[in-house]
Amino acid sequence: MTGDDLWVMPAGGRVPDPARLIGSPRFRALLEQARATFHAVILDTPPVLAVSEVLDIASVVDGVVLVARADQTNRLALGEAVSRLRKVEAPLLGLILNGVESGSGTAGYGGDYYRYYSYDYKPDDAGRKRKRAKA
């Protein structure tokens, strides 16, 4: 399926051995071809704790974004997912927390009590990245 700026490739049917498929040279070649062709390649996978093949994918991509649902995702399970991703040295970019209810008060985005913090990553003398907080 294609659009002017969006291409979608559905996963297709079930395969008898997903780990073998993901570890195959064909999968790696497909991923490299997609990287060479598109500005961004997004792979939507099952939850990290649901199937082990997700860790195989996470170890060969440029970044991983975890998605959790407010008031439903168990914090210990989320911590375990992060731990497993770190064990395979997956580049964890961040977390999307969906299902958050917005409040009705003024505290929040644009409210008097809201402050924006960002982190600026700069290499130190040894070439490692360090965090510098900005208010």
pLDDT tens-digit map of 86-98? 999 999 999 999 9
Q: How far is CA 98 from CA 21, 29, 63, 107, 118, in A?
A: 31, 33, 19, 19, 20
Class of domain 1-100: alpha beta
Average pLDDT value for residue range 65-92? 93
Average pLDDT value for residue range 100-114? 53
- For 10-37, letters b (16+ CB in 10 Å) and e give eeeeeeeebeeebeeeeeeeebeeeeee
How many of the other CB atoms lie within 10 Å of CB of 41? 17
What does the pLDDT read at residue 3? 62
Give 106 or 13, the one with higher predicted confidence: 13
What does the pLDDT read at residue 6? 85
Q: Where are the domains of the chain?
A: 1-100
**Nearest CA-CA partner of 56 in 92, 82, 29, 18:** 18
Q: 99 is written with which tokens?
A: 């299902």
pLDDT tens-digit map of 31-51? 999 999 998 889 998 899 998
